[in-house]
Amino acid sequence: MKNNKITGALCLLALAVPAFVPPVWGQGADWALYGGAGGRRFSSLAQITRANVGTLAEAWRFDMAEAGDPQTHPLAIGGVVYAYTPGLDTIALDGGSGKLLWRFHSGVKAGGPQRGLAMWGKGRDKRLFAAAGNYLYALDPSSGKPLPGFGTGGRIDLREGLGRDPDKVSLALTAPGAIWRDMIIMGFRTAESAPAAPGDIRAFDVRTGKLRWSFHTIPHPGEPGYESWPPDYWKSGGGANAWPGMVLDEKRGLVFAPTGSAVSDFYGADRGGDNRYANSLLALDANTGKLLWHFQGVHHDVADRDFPSPPVLLTLLRDGKAVNAVAQATKQGYLFVLDRVTGKPLFSVTEVQVAQSDLETLSPTQPVPSLPAPYARQHLSEDLLTNRTPQAHAWAVEQFRSFANDGPFPHMRLGQQTLAFPGFDGGAEWGGQASANGILYLNSNDVAWTGGLADSVAVHGLGARLYQDNCAACHGPDRKGAPPAFPSLLDSKLIDGQMADVIRSGRGRMPAFNLAGENMMALLNYVRSGEDKEMAAAPATAASPAYRFTGYRKFLDPDGYPAVAPPWGTLSAIDLSSGTYLWRIPLGEYPALADKSTGSENYGGPILTAGGVLFIAATLYDKKIRAFDPRNGTLLWQAQLPYAGNATPITYIAKGRQYVLIQADNARDKKSPQGAAYVAFALPNR
Ligand code: HEC
């Protein structure tokens, strides 16, 4: 196929052909669309094959000498790569050499990821849509200059038009928009606690930036779903936002949008009800924004169980017939496979009873699919705790016993940590999945986290309060003690575990204290620093809920490894016609445990090529990119990256040669040297 911006669109039309022909459709020479056509992350390129991938070598590297975490899945069109720097400048690179062609510095101060871009073209009019924080820019792809006719000076502010004071809402464009005809359909990321923007999904005119339609994910009065919230929540509440990115079914004119939880994430007494359309997959008419169907994955979520990945449009077989399906991955390890037109589950979904909270009314049940089986473990028990060393195991057992454990639908408690397993980062994540021939290739995390709630109105943080209540009498309000009878705690040589032992067991004149879990951690932290590590307790206002989250905590052993037994990260191939696994392997290594095939946490997704190769980096600690045989999960090739490839690769042609490109950085591994780069691989020149 030619280098053509609408190759992706043409290829989607190819979906009309019967399924299970060899996957010849794809994106041609380009990677023209975020996540590829139908979100399948599939390329029809076949220069690099199973047979020759073993000789793949680094072709060029664009090192940005800058720390950050853009998580970018670039575009490559006509041999030009469009991407972001860690400082979130938009850049264009020569796809064959990595040479910088232009750089657009918006001047907007923005943190957080920008995962991709979107290209629109009609005749000579071409527009590259790039994000900078809450701004969407229309750039001239040949120069990187903003196109003045779009919005104001080439940009629109996504904070406007949400019915809130734009200066009081914080939002960021993490995923690029979906291009439909002459519109760009946008979601965004917003704050996880109040005040947050309502997650309206909006279509803007690609030429002018004017609003064309808006869908309220928190319905307004008179709109269906309004009754699933308290009457006035839509005015002040936020979230239910489509942050992972949307996928178009161009043949049907449908846009599929996955949404996240409502705010605040972990305590929802002020948003009683099922909270439609939070945690939902929405099928919207791309022309009008009208809702065709919805599927809610978590009712009244209180565990940050956003739908974390863009959905994948695929064709599977049912009773010998091709069925157009959409697959939605989750943080909790379920894959929902739905009929694309009706939204009806293609594997039955049962509402199962879930644990209830003392603090608020939760949904009595939550949806669980019969197939495929979960791709991450669901229930943590003592026999699933780490056995890396006997000490680590004993430590983990003790911690585990102090946690509340609700299974896959946890709710948080006051003064006690609750397990989230899989953790708050899944299960699946934002990297998405790859697919061809009705098979889905999915990488997953498989570690436990914990979280808890604390009183919002407490004057002190938890650690300070515990200290003042229990310890100050002897060790003084300033921790200086009264030596020699009462030792100062400021210069204690004890490590945390030993200090916890002293506190729990008592010593000399010091009594024992029955403290564990979150309380112990907060107290130890306060004893060390004289400060509460958690955010200072905000004074309560009418808008702030009674309880606040005490922080995302990974359940790690004292040496920093996950305190659950491996695998800590996996890669699976799942046949969605039958709902069964073709294969499943650990993904990633901890260098010190490399012989143990533990897998590791991974962020960023796979891609698949007609050459019969699956490429994935994603792993946190080994900093490798790998090629697997999609038929059986055999490792075909791997290469060391300068930083962790926490992004989804792309593949494209430049000057006749096929490249595989990955963005890498160490933002999620603070112990390693910080920096970021784009690294391209190709077959050696013959
Ligand atoms: C009734 C007085 C008393 C109270 C209350 C008390 N301690 Fe102590 N603490 C002591 C004394 C006395 C020692 C020294 C014991 C010994 O080694 O003989 C000590 C020792 C310690 C040590 C060991 C210091 C080192 O470096 O070896 C730590 C840590 C400690 N206390 C922390 C705490 C904390 C935290 C609390 C509150 C939860 C607390 N203590 C409450 C009297 C007290």
pLDDT at 511: 66
In whole angstroms, what is the distance from residue 202 CA to residue 654 CA?
34
65-92 pLDDT, tens digit each? 898 889 999 999 999 999 999 989 999 9
Which numbered atom of ligand 1 lies nearest the CA of 491? 26
Residue 488: is its pLDDT beyond 80? Answer: yes
Q: Which residue among 475, 501, 503, 528 has the greatest number of ligand 1 atoms within 8 angstroms of its CB, and so is best to mutate?
A: 475
Please name the residue whose Cα sits nearest to atom 10 of ligand 1: 510
Q: Name the maximum alpha-carbon separation found in the chain.
A: 84
- Mean per-residue pLDDT, 436-454: 94
- Mean per-residue pLDDT, 492-508: 84
Please name the residue whose Cα sits nearest to atom 22 of ligand 1: 502
Confidence of residue 390 (pLDDT cuts 50, 70, 90): very high
Are the CB atoms for 472 and 365 separated by under 8 Å?
no
Integer angstrom CA distances of residue 658 from 29, 544, 614, 652: 8, 53, 15, 6
Confidence of residue 31 (pLDDT cuts 50, 70, 90): very high
Residue 507 CA to ligand 1 center (angstroms) comes to 7
Q: Which residue among 488, 494, 510 has the greatest number of ligand 1 atoms within 8 angstroms of its CB, and so is best to mutate?
A: 510
Residue whose structure tokens are 């104001």: 152
pLDDT at 512: 67
Which numbered atom of ligand 1 lies nearest the CA of 523? 35
pLDDT at 438: 97
Residue 551 CA to ligand 1 center (angstroms) comes to 27
Write out the two tokens for 214. 């808006």
Write out the two tokens for 505. 């067991």
Please name the residue whose Cα sits nearest to atom 39 of ligand 1: 471
Given CA atoms 631, 635, 636, 637 in this order, what sign does their dihedral have? positive
Phi and psi at residue 102, to the nearest 5°? -160, 165
Residue 20: is its pLDDT beyond 60? Answer: no
Are the CB atoms for 172 and 196 separated by under 8 Å?
no
Confidence of residue 27 (pLDDT cuts 50, 70, 90): low
Confidence of residue 467 (pLDDT cuts 50, 70, 90): confident
Q: Which residue among 467, 474, 496, 525 has the greatest number of ligand 1 atoms within 8 angstroms of its CB, and so is best to mutate?
A: 474
Residue 492 CA to ligand 1 center (angstroms) comes to 10
Residue 502 CA to ligand 1 center (angstroms) comes to 7
Which numbered atom of ligand 1 lies nearest the CA of 527? 35
Are the CB atoms for 303 and 426 separated by under 8 Å?
no
pLDDT at 519: 86
Residue 462 CA to ligand 1 center (angstroms) comes to 19
Residue 460 CA to ligand 1 center (angstroms) comes to 22
Please name the residue whose Cα sits nearest to atom 8 of ligand 1: 510
Residue 457 CA to ligand 1 center (angstroms) comes to 29
Closest CA to 172 of 241, 272, 231: 241
Please name the residue whose Cα sits nearest to atom 43 of ligand 1: 510
Ramachandran category for residue 433: left, alpha or beta (phi over 0 → left; psi -120 to 50 → alpha): beta
Confidence of residue 261 (pLDDT cuts 50, 70, 90): very high
Please name the residue whose Cα sits nearest to atom 2 of ligand 1: 474
In whole angstroms, what is the distance from residue 665 CA to residue 667 CA?
6
- Mean per-residue pLDDT, 347-351: 98
CB-based contacts of 194: which residues, under 8 Å, 6+ apart? Answer: 236, 237, 238, 263, 264, 543, 544, 545
pLDDT at 423: 96
Which numbered atom of ligand 1 lies nearest the CA of 485? 12
pLDDT at 17: 32
Residue 26: is its pLDDT beyond 60? Answer: no
pLDDT at 108: 86
In whole angstroms, what is the distance from residue 562 CA to residue 423 CA?
11
Are the CB atoms for 19 and 38 separated by under 8 Å?
no
CB-based contacts of 4: which residues, under 8 Å, 6+ apart? Answer: 10, 28, 30, 32
In whole angstroms, what is the distance from residue 528 CA to residue 294 CA?
49
Closest CA to 130 of 183, 76, 74, 212: 74
Please name the residue whose Cα sits nearest to atom 9 of ligand 1: 510
Please name the residue whose Cα sits nearest to atom 34 of ligand 1: 471
Write out the two tokens for 160. 């406007």
Amino acid in the structure at residue 276:
R
Residue 484 CA to ligand 1 center (angstroms) comes to 12
Please name the residue whose Cα sits nearest to atom 27 of ligand 1: 492
Among 59-73, 181-195, 475-489, 660-674, which is the least confidently predicted range?
475-489
Residue 334 CA to ligand 1 center (angstroms) comes to 48
Closest CA to 400 of 526, 551, 565: 565
Closest CA to 217 of 150, 291, 311: 291
Percent of the chain's residues with pLDDT above 70: 90
Q: Which residue among 479, 488, 493, 502 has the greatest number of ligand 1 atoms within 8 angstroms of its CB, and so is best to mutate?
A: 502
pLDDT at 544: 52
Given CA atoms 257, 665, 602, 616 in this order, what sign does their dihedral have? positive
Mean pLDDT, rounded, of the chain: 90
In whole angstroms, what is the distance from residue 652 CA to residue 72 CA?
16
Residue 535: is its pLDDT beyond 50? Answer: no
In whole angstroms, what is the distance from residue 669 CA to residue 588 CA?
14
Residue 444: is its pLDDT beyond 70? Answer: yes
Which numbered atom of ligand 1 lies nearest the CA of 499? 29
Ligand 1 site, CB within 6 A: 470-471, 473-475, 486-487, 489, 492, 494, 499, 502-503, 507-511, 513, 523, 527
181-221 pLDDT, tens digit each? 999 999 999 876 667 899 999 999 999 999 999 999 999 99
Residue 25: is its pLDDT beyond 50? Answer: no
- Mean per-residue pLDDT, 618-632: 97
Residue 95: is its pLDDT beyond 80? Answer: yes
Are the CB atoms for 413 and 429 separated by under 8 Å?
no
Neighbouring C-beta atoms of residue 550, cutoff 10 Å: 25
Which numbered atom of ligand 1 lies nearest the CA of 515? 38
Counted residue by residue, the chain has a size of 686
CA dihedral 540, 541, 543, 548 (to 10 degrees): -10
Please name the residue whose Cα sits nearest to atom 42 of ligand 1: 510
pLDDT at 655: 95
Residue 461 CA to ligand 1 center (angstroms) comes to 21
Residue 506 CA to ligand 1 center (angstroms) comes to 7
- Mean per-residue pLDDT, 599-606: 97
Q: Which residue among 507, 513, 524, 526 has the greatest number of ligand 1 atoms within 8 angstroms of its CB, and so is best to mutate?
A: 507
564-593 pLDDT, tens digit each? 999 999 999 999 999 999 999 999 999 999
Residue 495 CA to ligand 1 center (angstroms) comes to 14
